[in-house]
Amino acid sequence: MKKITEKHIEQFKTKKYIKFENVLDKKILSVAKNYYDIKFNKIKEYHVTTLSDDVVGPYNNNFYADPLSESLLYELLPFYKKLSGKDLIPTYSFARLYKKGQFLNSHIDRPACQFSLTLCIYSNLKNPWPIFIEDEGCSTSSNEAVFYKGCELNHYRNTLNEDASIVQLHLHYVDKNDDFYNKFVFDGRPGIGMPYNSVNLNERYRDYISENGEWLTKELYEKKKLQSL
Ligand SMILES: [Fe+2]
């Protein structure tokens, strides 16, 4: 894995995102490529969600808390701690299989995604299909990742017009010492590896959701708290 320099740390601090190449050790990447090929293409183990319940549309093949991506949360934890200068704790992971026609609506993430990364495991794209972070395009080939502050920076992808397959992992963390974000440790689950339905997010995080059902940002949450005093 690439060494983190003072320049990287400074860039992450000021721009709130940074791209890295060679994120996983070669052997781990090789295992991950085979594993997700089996998962998504052979046994077809994934969920299909639609735009109404996901930011990716018009449909999306994904898997919450896949055991390998959950394990990689720990694998990349020391790296992300060093890059961010924060004592991070994992929240959850997501594995996605992107195909032609899909797009990612412009959004900021829910509070469990304070420190996020999107890591490309496999891609057979011929042309770049960047994730735009605050309108700046960042393309990721296999074993490249963008580390970014998901709750602060808008991000999106335009429609993929190429007949391609892309396996992308999304790994999320929060700062252990931040009293707003640290409530989201393990995404409210009893522990890493537990499935999505092991917790009722809306119930567990009722105070962090607005009247129209949207996740509150830290700013809005604190404003609401002050008003109720
Ligand atoms: Fe996101």
Reported as a single tens digit per residue, the pLDDT across 78-137 is 999 999 999 999 999 999 999 999 999 999 999 999 999 999 999 999 999 999 999 899
pLDDT for residue 74: 97
Q: How far is the CA of 25 from the centre of ligand 1 (A)?
A: 25
Q: How far is the CA of 107 from the centre of ligand 1 (A)?
A: 6
> If you average pLDDT over every residue of the chain, what do you get?
93
Question: Ligand 1 is a single-atom ion; what residues have CB below 5 A from it?
Answer: 109
Reported as a single tens digit per residue, the pLDDT across 5-53 is 999 999 999 999 999 999 999 999 999 999 999 999 999 988 888 766 6
Q: How far is the CA of 28 from the centre of ligand 1 (A)?
A: 25
Q: How far is the CA of 57 from the centre of ligand 1 (A)?
A: 13
Q: How confident is the model at residue 1 (pLDDT cuts 50, 70, 90)?
A: low
Question: Which position has the token pair 């690439």?
Answer: 2
Q: Which stretches of 77-137 are DSSP H helices?
A: 77-84
Q: How many CB atoms lie within 10 A of CB 147?
A: 25
Residue 210 or residue 83, greater confidence: 83
Q: How far is the CA of 95 from the centre of ligand 1 (A)?
A: 13
As its CATH architecture, domain 6-195 has Sandwich (2.60)
- Give the phi and the psi of residue 226 in degrees, each rounded to 5: -65, -40
